[in-house]
Amino acid sequence: MTVSTVKPENLEFDAPASALRLKDILKTLPKECFQKNSRKAWSAALFSVAVVALGYWGLAVAPWFLLPVLWIFTGTALTGFFVIGHDCGHRSFAKRRWVNDLVGHLFMMPLIYPFHSWRILHNFHHTHTNKLDIDNAWQPFQTEYYDSLPRSLQNGYEGLRGRFWWVGSIVHWAGIHFTLAEFQPKDHSKVKLSVAVVLIFAAIAFPTLILTTGIWGFVKFWLMPWLVYHFWMSTFTLVHHTAPDIAFYPEEQWNAADSQLSGTVHCNYPGWVESLCHDINVHVPHHISTAIPSYNLRMAYQSLQQNWGNRLYKECNFSWALMKEITDQCHLYHPEACYRSFTDYRQGQ
């Protein structure tokens, strides 16, 4: 794919990193990156519906020993449902707001994810990415706060920062998306609507599924794919902004452009995962501008590589070694070393 670019030398930008502004980056991106294409948007939505339907058909007819493979496939395809809703939440799916809201609710409804609740809290993450004590996505605890917690909560935090990272999305989903106290009064009506939508869906779908297929049918057709979906949600979100040398900054030291450009990780996943999840792993341009639809993320990333490659965080490949590095080291905030592991912290006490 060929994209028009503005060479960095033409920007005459030799200022220190703290002076970098998002608009300096945005003006180097091709205008095509921001253009909505209804054919591509609806094709992606229909593709997700088709592959999810294929997954459920497979679960219905396959022998028991193929179920784990089909759970992985179907749960990954359901993550594509979330990405469609993700575009809707950023108003990059359709030009009309009501279409974005309707499609967003429909695609996030089977995931029991309240659309407006997620949209509002997720936009907050984009506004405060990697801002210490404020960002609401995977920011590390400071040692003082960690020490103030009862041992049970310390154990829980250690698990979510360790080998049980894949549960983190479920905790995040259940902990804040159904509670009005997390939202400003002006947003309460929208949050109530989205919560009502998923609760009504669950109240109809779950008993129907259990009555027609039994408890095992509920586990087989909904719970297991849903857990795989949350595995990817936890993994994508953690990897997007976590590495031993990616810092969270106090508000007085924080710079939006630096955090969005250099504090966001591009991770390569197997091609079938990237296809089913609509390139959500191409995450750096999404943090430069949420107006870029998912089908234009690769075009935008190519431009960022050409124009801002010296500021991009190094790419990585999804692997057990990557997850082990993150879950072994990225535990507690450290003002100089970015992170401190639980082991190092206890040894230093």
Q: What is the pLDDT of residue 18?
A: 61
- For the cut 80, the answer to whether the pLDDT of residue 30 exceeds it is yes
- For the cut 70, the answer to whether the pLDDT of residue 13 exceeds it is no
- For the cut 80, the answer to whether the pLDDT of residue 3 exceeds it is no
Nearest to 72 by CA among 273, 319, 282: 273
Q: What is the pLDDT of residue 347?
A: 87
Identify whether 18 is part of a domain: no
CA atoms within 13 A on the CB side of 37: 12
- CA-to-CA separations, 81 to 104, 110, 229, 344, in angstroms, rounded: 9, 9, 10, 40
Q: What is the pLDDT of residue 10?
A: 38
* Residues recorded for the chain: 349
Three-state secondary-structure class, residue 268: strand
DSSP secondary structure of 95-131: SSHHHHHHHHHHHHGGGT--HHHHHHHHHHHHHTTTB
Nearest to 346 by CA among 162, 143, 165: 143
Residue 94 near residue 41, CB atoms below 8 Å = yes
Q: How many CB atoms lie within 10 A of CB 185?
A: 7
Identify whether 253 is part of a domain: yes
Structurally, the chain folds into a number of domains equal to 1
Identify whether 108 is part of a domain: yes
Q: Give the whole-angstrom CA distance, residue 67 versus residue 221.
A: 10
Beta bridge partners, 249, equal: 131
More confident: 15 or 81: 81
- For the cut 60, the answer to whether the pLDDT of residue 17 exceeds it is no
Identify whether 23 is part of a domain: no
Residue 61 near residue 72, CB atoms below 8 Å = no
| 71-110 pLDDT tens trace | 999 999 999 999 999 999 999 999 999 999 999 999 999 9
Q: How many CB atoms lie within 10 A of CB 246?
A: 18
CA atoms within 13 A on the CB side of 216: 4
Identify whether 99 is part of a domain: yes
Confidence band (pLDDT; 50, 70, 90) for 349?
low
160: domain range?
34-348
Identify whether 268 is part of a domain: yes
Cα torsion angle, 160, 164, 170, 175, sign: negative
Average pLDDT over residues 242-270: 92
Angle at CA of residue 225, ends 221 and 227, nearest 5°: 130
Three-state secondary-structure class, residue 331: coil
**What is the token pair recorded at 310?**
């010296």
| 289-340 pLDDT tens trace | 999 999 999 999 999 999 999 999 889 999 999 999 999 999 999 988 899 9
| 115-170 pLDDT tens trace | 999 999 999 999 999 999 999 888 899 999 999 999 999 999 999 999 999 999 99
SS in 3 state form for 236-261?
Answer: HHHHHHCCCCCCCECHHHCCHHHHHH
pTM of the model: 0.92
Residue 5 near residue 30, CB atoms below 8 Å = yes
Nearest to 235 by CA among 298, 323, 109: 323
Q: In the 8-state DSSP scheme, what is residue 15?
A: S
From the centroid of its chain, how far is CA 103? 18
Q: What is the pLDDT of residue 4?
A: 38
Q: Are strands 316-317 and 267-268 parallel, antiparallel or unpaired?
A: parallel
Contacts of 36 (CB under 8 A, 6+ apart): 92, 93, 94, 95, 293
- CA-to-CA separations, 241 to 23, 111, 129, 189, 334, in angstroms, rounded: 21, 24, 9, 31, 16
Q: What is the pLDDT of residue 11?
A: 41
Q: Mean of the per-residue pLDDT values for the chain?
A: 93
Identify whether 214 is part of a domain: yes
Q: What is the pLDDT of residue 1?
A: 39
Identify whether 251 is part of a domain: yes
Token pair 């519906």 in the structure block, residue = 49
Beta bridge partners, 340, equal: 332
